[in-house]
Structure 1
Amino acid sequence: MRIATWNIERLRHKKFLEQILLACEQTQADILVLTETDHRVSLDYPYSFHTPPLTDLQPVFYNPTENRVSIYTNYPCIRQHKTCDEYTALCVELETDKGYMLVYGTIIGIYGNRHPSFQQSLVQQLDDIKRLSDSGIPLCICGDFNCSFSDGYYFTKPGRETLLRTFSDYDIELLTKNEAKCIDHIAVSKRFISNSGIQIAEWNQDKLLSDHKGIVVCFS
């Protein structure tokens, strides 16, 4: 199984659309979470799920094709679960070859971690994570956390500590914790990981296609 996430920066580099599409395809991800995304990024997956268009919120500021989170997957969806903010967090329950899993695609703090709204977004989404964890179904939290964990690249100490504490409390492993200059992450319930080997790879390290690197985790 391969799980990947990438923030494509509202397709600001749309002149490279073909390269962006190719980069997504080359991840060969079974589950791909795109954030700050756009429906012009059309991928060949059997199942896809999207937060509502952002023109519903601010028709002047956003393009009609923009939305914040999309989940593409090879696995069938059993149901969709409610989140604290339907525009910014998306949760689907998938039937994978390793069993059922909730995939929670998200952006924590749409204006970055220095904006006052970051803490509110963090609290609300952690409430989602706690509620979903209590369902007993393994959980994957995937997307733009606006927080690095292995260095001083981009983080707030309270945000970092709160996320790590919550993951620890609910037996969730932050698989991308040690990636340098990384604010886009994949965290998965430990019981789902079990004894799987984990390999991690990145793309767009030069940030020519977006101001974020993409990251993929492979379970073997």
Structure 2
Amino acid sequence: MLASLRIATWNLEKPKPNGWSKNPIILEKIQEINADIWILTETNDAINPGEQYFQAASYSKPEWDGFKYTTIWSRLPIIRHWQTYDPWISVCAEILTPIGNLLVYGTIITYAHDDVLNGKAKIWERHYESIQSHSRDWRKLNKLLPLCVAGDFNEALSQPFSYGTPKGREMLRQGLEQSNLVCVTANHELGYNIDHICLSLDWAKRVQNTNKWQAYKTNGHPVTDHFGVYVDLFFDTSVS
């Protein structure tokens, strides 16, 4: 029986299918982190952790050349897919784990300037709307099974709060609380990050380790403008 479970999320900043300067480094880091469940955002089909993983992904178009807003990769079996409010951005997979099925919801909560340059919205307006829409999804899904929500939240939930707003953080706090979710990557030890992992309360209590990372190209530049984060959950294998 599996004694622990590592869940990781990372925004890859839109790698190209033939991205020779960053794709091999991303894949090498993915192998190093060795997560059981990955939630990758702004990703591409070229970023594949291996044949031992099952896949669930948001919708895509042929002209996107393999780009996906969100992809879940799981070593544990994916039982079924669940509907999300925006299947082009979010994906939800029911995953079989050693202590029961878990809904894994991967997503991007949109950024500050979405629809700002074209004059359709004010700064942060779409972000706040996105939090509200996501929160409605989480409340529905949390009634079914334990829930893991992970991805790019576009909100720093630990100091320094250098991206996001007090209003956005409070909306997120309320949305998570209403779904009995705990953001286990919102702590001062991790410092600044906007990619997060949240778990239903009973599952959050099993977390014993959190960490974040970055990966760098040969020129010293990061492969993406986001830190990746992972959490380790531990199970009591003495209980049959």
Normalised to the residue count of structure 2, the TM-score between the two structures is 0.82
Which deviations, in whole Å up to 9, do the C-alpha atoms of 1:139-172 show, x marking residues without a partner? Answer: 0000000001112211111211011122223321
Residue in 2 that maps onto 1:201:
211
Instruction: Single out whichever of 12-21 and 94-103 deviates more from structure 2.
Output: 12-21
Aligned residues: 212
Q: Find the partner of 1:27 among 20, 24, 33.
A: 33
Q: Find the partner of 1:133 among 142, 151, 169.
A: 142
Using the alignment, how far apart are the partners of 1:128 and 1:75 within structure 2? 23
Pairwise mapping of residues 106-185 of structure 1 onto structure 2 (< 5 A)? 106-109=107-110, 114-135=123-144, 137-151=145-159, 152-178=161-187, 179-185=190-196
Give structure 1 regions of 4+ aligned residues with deviation exceeding 3 angstroms: 110-115
Normalised to the residue count of structure 1, the TM-score between the two structures is 0.89
Q: CA deviation at 1:197?
A: 4.4
Three-state SS of the structure 1 residue aligned to 2:27 is helix
Aligned-residue RMSD, C-alpha: 2.0
Q: CA deviation at 1:23?
A: 0.7
Which deviations, in whole Å up to 9, do the C-alpha atoms of 1:58-112 show, x marking residues without a partner? Answer: x4xxx41111000000111121110000010100111111211100000001565
Contact residue 139 and residue 178 of structure 2 kept, 8 A: no
Q: CA deviation at 1:40?
A: 1.1
Instruction: Single out whichever of 68-77 and 113-122 deviates more from structure 2.
Output: 113-122
**Residues 52, 24 of structure 1: CA spacing in aligned structure 2 closer, same or farther, 3 A cutoff?**
same
Contact residue 9 and residue 36 of structure 1 kept, 8 A: yes
Say yes or no: does 1:36 pair with 2:42.
yes
Which deviations, in whole Å up to 9, do the C-alpha atoms of 1:11-38 show, x marking residues without a partner? Answer: 1693121110011111111110000001
Residue in 1 that maps onto 2:117:
none
Contact residue 56 and residue 81 of structure 2 kept, 8 A: no
Contact residue 132 and residue 175 of structure 2 kept, 8 A: no
Say yes or no: does 1:218 pair with 2:222.
no
Structure 2 unmatched ranges of 5 or more: 115-122, 235-240
Residue in 1 that maps onto 2:15:
11
Of the two, which has the highest radius of gyration? 2
Question: Alignment identity in percent?
Answer: 29
> Quick one: which amino acid aligns to residue 120 of structure 1?
E
Three-state SS of the structure 1 residue aligned to 2:14 is helix
Structure 1 unmatched ranges of 5 or more: none
Residue in 2 that maps onto 1:102:
103
Q: CA deviation at 1:131?
A: 0.6
Using the alignment, how far apart are the partners of 1:46 and 1:106 within structure 2? 19
